[in-house]
A and B are shown apart, each in its own frame.
Chain A
Amino acid sequence: MIEVISYLIFFLIICSFYVLSCLGLNIQYGYTGMFNVGVAGFFAIGAYTSALLTGPRYPDTVVGGFDLPIVVGWVAAIMVSGLAGMLVGLITLRLREDFLAISTFGIAISLQLVANNVDSLTRGPNGLYALPKPFAKVSDNPLIDNLLYLLLCLVLVAMVYLALERIVKSPWGRVLRSIREDEVAASAMGKNVFSFRLQAFVVGCAIMGLSGAMYANFMRFISPQDFMPIFTIQVLVMLVVGGKGNNLGAILGAIMIWTLWSASDSLISVMVTPDFQTQAAALRLITIGVVLVLMLIFRPAGLLPEKNTQS
C-alpha cells in the first residue's frame, strides 16, 4: 500500500512538471500561434540554472556550486529561461513563423551539445548530482518529504494556471488571440504585433524554465539525457490532445498522456523480454506519433477545445 501511495506521489510530481511545460507551450502555441520546437531546451536552461546556483561545489567544475537557497535558484531559472526566450524571439519573431520553429529546434540541439561537452560547467554526461531538495530535512520519512514537495508543485501549478487564465482573459490575451487569427488586422488596430508576440513567448519560456528547475531540485541529479528532443514531442502531444488555447485542456492532456506513457513504461518492462525492449520503445513512440497525427487530422481542436470568447 505504501508503495502504491509513494509511486502515486512520485507520478503526480513528475506530471506537474509536464503540466507546467504544457501550460508554457499553450501560451505560445495555443494562444498566440507560435510554435516552439525547443521546449526541452528551455526546460534544460531552467534545470541547469537552478542546479548551478543551488548545487554543491564539485571538485571538477569551474563555475557553479553557489549553494544558494532553492527559491533563488528557481527565480533565477525563470529569469534566465525568459531571457533566452527573449533573445530567440528578438531574432526570429519578425520573420516567418518557420524561422522560430527552426531556431528553437537549433537551441535545443545546441544546448544538449553544450551540456554534454562543457565539462567545467555541467560535468558533461556525468551530470550534476547531490542537488538540494526542498523539504528534505523535514522528516526522516521520504514519503512525507515527497508529499510536501507534491503540495508545493500543486500550489505552483495552481498559481501559474490562475495567473495564465487571468492574463489570457484580459485585453492582453485578446490581443494575442487576434494576432493568432489575423496578424494584419491586429496590427491595423494599432497593436504592436512583434512586441505582443515577444511578451507571450517570454512568458511561455519562463514557465518552462520554472518546471525545469523544479525537476532538477526534485530529482537531485540532472544530465543531458534528461533533455532529449522526445520531451518536446511529449509536451506537444499533450497540448494537441488536450486542446490548444485552453489551459484546462493543456492540463488534462498532460495528465492523460503522462498516465498512458507511464503505464506503457511499466507494461513494457513487465511484458517484454530485454531483447525486444528497443523495439517496444520504438513502437510506443510510433503510437504517440500516430496519436498526434490522428488528432491533427480528425480533432485539431483537441479534447477540450478553446471556448468561444466574445467581448
Chain B
Amino acid sequence: MIQFLIDGLVNGSIIALGAVGLSITYNVLRFANFAQGEVLAVGAYVSLALVSLMGVGIGRLGPISLGWPLLGSMVFSMLVTCLLVLGVDWVLFRVLRQKQASRITFIIAAFGVSMMVRNVITLIAGGDQLFYSFYIPKAIKIMEGVKILPDDLLILFITLISVISLHVFLNRSTMGKKMRAVAENPALAMVSGINVERVFKWSWILGASLAAVAGTLHAHITQLDPEMGFELILPMFAALVVGGVTSVYGAVLGGLLIGLSESFAVAGGGAAYRGAISFMILILVLVFRPQGILGEKERDD
C-alpha cells in the first residue's frame, strides 16, 4: 500500500513538473500546448547527449544511483531545452501571434510541432529505447514490506525544491508578478506598460526548465524513447484540468493526484489501462467540476 503511494508520488511529481509548464502556456500564452510532452522528451535526450559525451557514467551520491554527472547534465539540458523552445516560439508561435491567429491555430501548430519533434528525435537518436545507465539501484527497506529507492526520495526532493522556487518566482520577482498580470488580463497588463512579449519568453523558459528536469528524472527511472513525451501528454493535461486550469498550484496537485491514481490502478490490476485512467478522471472532472479543484470559474476570453 505504502509502496504504491510512494510510486504514485514519484510518478506524480514528474507529471506535476510537466503540467506546470502546460499551465503556464495555457494561462499566459492562452493555448493548450500539445507539444509539452516533447519538451520533456527533448530535455531527457539532451541530458543523455551530455552524459554520453562526458563518458563517466551518471555517477553516484551515497546510496543514490545518480550523481553530479547526471545532475550537471540536467542543468545543462534545462538551458538547451529553453533555447530550443524559444527558437520554436520565435519561428512559429511568435509569427502566429503577430498574425493574430485563432487559438485553434495555435493548438494545431503545437500538435504539428509535437509530431515533428518526435520524429527529429527518431532521426537523430533512433527509435529504440535508450538508458542513462544499466545500473539497477538497490531499494532500502524502511519497514516490513516497504522498500524505498533512494532515487525516489531525491526525485521528490527535487520536485519540492522546484515547486518552492516556482512559488517564490511567481510571488516575489517582478517578472513573476508581470506573468500573473498577463495571465489575469493581457490588455490591462499591456496598457500598464508590461512588455508582453518578454513575459511570453519567460513563460516558455519557466515551463521548459521544469520540463527538462521532469523529462530527465522520468528517463532516469524508466527509459528514453521518442514516444516518451507523447505518452505523458494526456496525464499532464488531466493534471491541468483536475487541479484547475487557472492555477499553477492546481497543476502540481493534479499531477500528484493523477500519479497516485495511476499507481493504484496498476495495483488494482489495471496496468494495461494505465493510459486511460487519466482520461477517465479528466472526463469525470469535466462533468462534475469543470473548473477543477483549485480553479476559478473559467474566464471567457
Contact = CB atoms under 8 A, between A and B. Distances in A.
**Interface size class, chain B:** 35 or more
B126 interface: yes
Most A CB contacts (10 A, CB to CB) among B102, B104, B233 go to: B104
A297 B116 CA distance: 16
Given A106-B237, A296-B101, A290 B275 contact: no
B108 to A, nearest CB: 7
A71 interface: no
Interface in A260-295: 278-279, 282-283, 285-286, 288-290, 292-293
Interface string A217-239: 00000000000011001001100
B234 A91 contact: no
SS of A interface (majority): helix
Contacts of A117: 272-273
A283 B121 CA distance: 11
Interface in B77-133: 92, 95-96, 99, 101-105, 107-109, 111-113, 115-116, 118-120, 122-123, 126-127
Nearest to A114: B276
A98 B276 contact: no
B234 A286 contact: no
B108 A296 contact: yes
Interface string A18-53: 000000000001000111010000000000000000
Contacts of B298: 95-96
B26 A98 contact: yes
A27 B137 CA distance: 54
B47 interface: no
B96 A297 contact: yes
Contact of A35 (B104, B120, B276): B104
B244 to A, nearest CB: 13
Contacts of B45: none
Nearest to B32: A98
Contacts of A289: 112-113, 115-116, 119
B115 A285 contact: yes
A159 interface: no
A88 to B, nearest CB: 9
A233 B101 CA distance: 20
A8 interface: no
Interface residues of A, number: 45
Contacts of A37: 34, 107, 111
A35 B107 contact: yes
Interface in A81-98: 91-92, 94-98
Nearest to B238: A106
B109 A296 contact: yes
B290 interface: yes
Nearest to A124: B272
Nearest to A96: B298
Contacts of A109: 234, 275-276, 279
B283 A103 contact: yes
B108 A236 contact: yes
B282 interface: yes
A229 B115 CA distance: 10
A244 B99 CA distance: 18
A214 to B, nearest CB: 26
A285 B276 contact: no
Given A29-B104, A282-B122, A296-B101, A113 B272 contact: yes
A282 B96 CA distance: 26
B278 A106 contact: yes
Contact of B34 (A29, A105, A107, A237): A105
A183 to B, nearest CB: 9
B288 to A, nearest CB: 10
B278 A92 contact: no
Contacts of A107: 279
Interface of A: 29, 33-35, 37, 91-92, 94-99, 101-103, 105-107, 109-110, 113-114, 116-117, 229-230, 233, 236-237, 240, 278-279, 282-283, 285-286, 288-290, 292-293, 296-297, 300
20 contacts: A35-B108, A37-B111, A95-B290, A99-B241, A99-B286, A99-B290, A101-B32, A101-B34, A102-B237, A102-B241, A103-B283, A105-B233, A230-B115, A240-B108, A285-B119, A292-B112, A293-B113, A296-B105, A296-B112, A297-B95
Given A98-B31, A114-B276, 12 more contacts: A37-B111, A91-B287, A95-B298, A96-B300, A105-B34, A105-B234, A106-B278, A109-B276, A230-B115, A237-B112, A278-B126, A293-B92
